[in-house]
Amino acid sequence: MTSPRSKPLVIDVDGSLLRTDMLFESFLAAIGTDAPRALKIAWNTRKDRPRMKSELASLSQIQVDRLPVNPEVLALAKAAQSEGREVVLASGSDKKLVQALANRLGIKGEHLGSEPGLNLTGKNKAVALVERFGKNGFHYVGDSDVDLSVWECSSAAIAVAPSARVRVKLEALGMPVTYVGKGWSARNLVKALRPHQWIKNVLLLLPLFAVHRLDFHGFERVLLAIVAFSLAASSIYIVNDLLDLDADRQHERKHLRPFAAGSVPIQVGMVTSLLLGITALTLASIIDWKMLGLVAIYMSLSLAYSVYLKRQRWIDIWVLAILYTLRVVAGAVAGSVAASGWLIAFVFPVFMALGCVKRMTEVARAKHDKRLPGRAYAKGDRGDLLNMSVLSAFNADIIFLAYTYSETAYLLYAGIWELRWVVIPVSAWMYRMIWTGWAGKQNYDPIVFAMRDRVGLSLAIVSVLGLYNAAALAGV
C-alpha cells in the first residue's frame, strides 16, 4: 500500500504555482506581437479552448523563465522532490508551456497540459489524474472552484489563497486541507492605478489661469474633467502594464509593478480597466459631448500608444506630447474658454522635450547597449534625444518670447517686461530637466520627478510669481 507521504504531488500551474495565468499572458503577449492576428485567433477559436491556447502560445512565445512563481508552492514542490516523491504539473494551459515551465524549475517528469482536442481543466483534469494515479492516489495543489472536482479525487488538498466560497466547498469534502499563500489586495490594485500620476491632470487648469478666469462654474467643470481624465489615464495605465508584462519584468524598478510581479491577477486588471474607462466616459458626457469626444480620443490614442506606437522611434515622443497637449485643450473646453493658439504652441514643444527626457533617462540608466525591451531606443540614441530635447525647449522659449509681443499679452499683462523676464526661470527649469535626464538622475517619469525636485519646484514657483506680478500690474 502506498504511504500518504510517498503519494505524488500534483500541482496546478495558473494561480497556484504561478502568480499569473499563462493563457492571459499568451493573449496579451500576442496582442503586443501582432494585435490583429491575436484578436482573430481569439475570435475564431472562442469555442475551442485547447486550439486557442495552442495558437496563442505559438504566436506569443512568452518567456516562461520570467513568469512570477509562487515561492510557497515552489517550496512544496522542492520538499516533495527531496522526499523522493513524484511531482507533476497539471494545468489547463498549453502543454508546451507547462513542460517549458517544469524544465525551468527543474521538475523532471511527464507533465500534463491542454493540447488539441483536450482542455485539461476541471473534470477533464480529474479524469486524467485518476487514470494515471488512481482515485485518492495523489495530493493536489489548486486555487479555485474549477479545482474542486480534482480535489474530490485526491487524498489531500493544498489550497493556494482560495476565496471564502471555495474554502467552504473544499472543507465540505471532508479531507485534510492545507492553506498556503495570501490573495491579492486592494492596496496593490490601487497602486496599479498610479494615483500619483493624476497630478499631471492639473494641466487642465492651465487655460483658465492663462486667461485669468477663476469663476466657480468654470472651475467646477474643469475639476470634473480632471477626475474623468484621471480615471481614463488609470484605465490605460493598466492596459499598458498588461501589455508590457515581459518588458517590465526585465526592468530594474518596473518588475515590482503589481501585474508584472503577480500581486494582482491579470483578470482583475482587465475588468478594472474596463470599469474605469466606462466611468471616465460617463463623467465626460456629463460635461458635454465635446468633452466626451476628447476623452474618447485621449483613450483611443493612449491605447494605440500602448499596443503599437510606443515601439516606434520618434513617433512615440510625438504621441506623448499630443496626449499632454490634449489635456490643455480639454481644460479649455471644460472651462468654456478659448484654447489660445499661443498656449498650445508653447506647451507642445515643452512636452516634446519632456518626452525626449523620459526616453533619455531610460537609455542613460540602461545596463546594456541593446534596445530597451519594448522600446525603439538604445544607449546610442542618447545624443539624438538630447539634441531633440534641447531644440524643443529652445522652440518653447522663442514662442514664449514671441507671445510677450502679441496683442493677447498686452491685453492680459501691463508688466510686459516683467512677463518677458519669466522666460529665464522657465528656461532654467526646462534645461535642468534635460540635464538630469541626460545624467540618468531622474526616476523614469519626468513629471513625477518635477513634482519632487526642490530646485525645479523653486524655479516653477519663481515663474508663477513672475506671471502673477506681471498680471497684478494690470490690476488683474
Question: Residue 424 is placed in which grid cell?
Answer: 529665464
Single residue among 338, 356, 374 that ends a domain in this structure = 338
> Do 17 and 117 belong to one domain?
yes
- Interatomic CA distance for residues 386 and 388, integer angstroms: 5
Q: What is the pLDDT of residue 399?
A: 94
> Do 41 and 11 belong to one domain?
yes
- Interatomic CA distance for residues 41 and 30, integer angstroms: 10
Give pLDDT tens digits for 212-236.
777 777 788 999 999 999 999 999 9
> Do 156 and 205 belong to one domain?
no
Question: Residue 285 is placed in which grid cell?
Answer: 458626457
Nearest to 150 by CA among 80, 182, 103, 131: 131
Residue 195, domain extent: 186-338
> Do 163 and 208 belong to one domain?
no
Single residue among 183, 211, 236 that ends a domain in this structure = 183
Domain count, the chain: 3
Distance of CA 420 to the CA centre of its chain: 40
> Do 27 and 70 belong to one domain?
yes
Do 157 and 142 form a contact (C-beta atoms < 8 A)?
A: yes
Single residue among 287, 310, 338 that ends a domain in this structure = 338
> Do 353 and 467 belong to one domain?
yes
Q: What is the pLDDT of residue 476?
A: 45
Do 426 and 400 form a contact (C-beta atoms < 8 A)?
A: yes
Q: What is the pLDDT of residue 5?
A: 60
CATH at 53: 3.40.50.1000
Question: Residue 106 is placed in which grid cell?
Answer: 527543474
> Do 149 and 66 belong to one domain?
yes
For residue 436, the tally of other CB atoms under 10 A from its CB is 21
Kindly list the distances between the CA atom of residue 235 and the CA atoms of 39, 198, 248, 257, 364, in Å, as whole numbers in the listed order.
20, 12, 18, 15, 29
> Do 421 and 334 belong to one domain?
no
Residue with cell 513617433: 315
- Interatomic CA distance for residues 240 and 350, integer angstroms: 24
Beta bridge partners, 139, equal 9, 156
> Do 175 and 197 belong to one domain?
no
> Do 68 and 172 belong to one domain?
yes
Give pLDDT tens digits for 363-381.
888 777 778 777 778 888 8
> Do 264 and 355 belong to one domain?
no
Nearest to 11 by CA among 83, 56, 82, 70: 70
> Do 165 and 191 belong to one domain?
no
pLDDT mean over 300-318 = 88
Cite the DSSP H helix spans in 172-287: 186-192, 206-210, 216-243, 245-249, 258-261, 266-287
For the cut 70, the answer to whether the pLDDT of residue 2 exceeds it is no
Residue with cell 486592494: 186
Give pLDDT tens digits for 321-364.
999 999 999 999 998 887 788 889 999 999 999 999 988 888 88
